A and B are shown apart, each in its own frame.
Chain A
């Protein structure tokens, strides 16, 4: 499994855009990048997944540069309910079912 590094915590205010960058220098050719969100005392929830360039859905955008050694999760116009832990995971489609969640980034949104 490729090792990932992301900030321990980030603070933001309602209405702002939050960008969380994850480093994965030893990402393999077949690896995908996946982000999960976890609220306190709940299971993680899939947010977005990508392989290269940009992916966007109704919740977030994922930006992956050409070298794929990092990725940035972008949460537009956050609200208080976006306060959660965000995990960056890297794994190969068929072999890496052992997702390594790491410590994640605790995002706190304030009014």
Chain B
């Protein structure tokens, strides 16, 4: 498989559940990102990793916990979410950090919190 993949594609969870979103990139990139896109809102950058080190935590609530075990994999651990956390969660990667570097996005995980 090529590019950036995300699993699951759809997830429904209750507010007391714990779940994880997975992202994998097959591009040999060194930077990975988590974005949130709520309905009718712009993309919001959540977390940025470069060479497996977190370089950005954009004031995201602690109920979202990222993990980057290696440069190819990125996880977003979810617990005690709120209904307003329902959104499309997008993972992206780029060769290195920097605006010039094209970001490759995955298809996203559509999350619904009930």
Q: Is the CB of A32 within 8 A of B105?
A: no
Knowing A41-B88, A43-B105, A43-B108 are in contact, say whether A34-B99 is a contact too (CB < 8 A).
yes
Pairs A–B under 8 Å by Cβ, sample size 12: A32-B100, A36-B103, A41-B110, A42-B107, A43-B105, A43-B106, A94-B98, A96-B99, A97-B97, A99-B103, A101-B42, A104-B42
Among residues 56 to 105 in chain A, which have CB atoms less than 8 Å away from a CB atom of chain B?
A: 89-104
Q: How large is the interface on A (under 10, 10 to 19, 20 to 34, 35 or more residues)?
A: 20 to 34
List the B side residues contacting A96 at CB < 8 Å: 98-99
Knowing A102-B42, A104-B42 are in contact, say whether A41-B108 is a contact too (CB < 8 A).
yes
Q: Which residues of A contact B (CB under 8 A)?
A: 31-32, 34, 36, 41-46, 49, 89-104
Please encode chain B, from 32 to 72, with 1 for each CB lying within 8 Å of some chain A CB and 0 for all others: 01000000001101001000000110100000000000000
Q: Is the CB of B99 within 8 A of A91?
A: yes
Cα separation A89 to B48 with both chains bound (whole Å): 18
List the A side residues contacting B76 at CB < 8 Å: none
Q: Is the CB of A98 within 8 A of B56?
A: yes
Known: A91-B100, A93-B101. 13 other contacts (CB 8 A): A42-B105, A43-B105, A43-B106, A43-B107, A44-B43, A46-B102, A94-B97, A95-B99, A97-B48, A98-B56, A99-B99, A99-B103, A102-B42
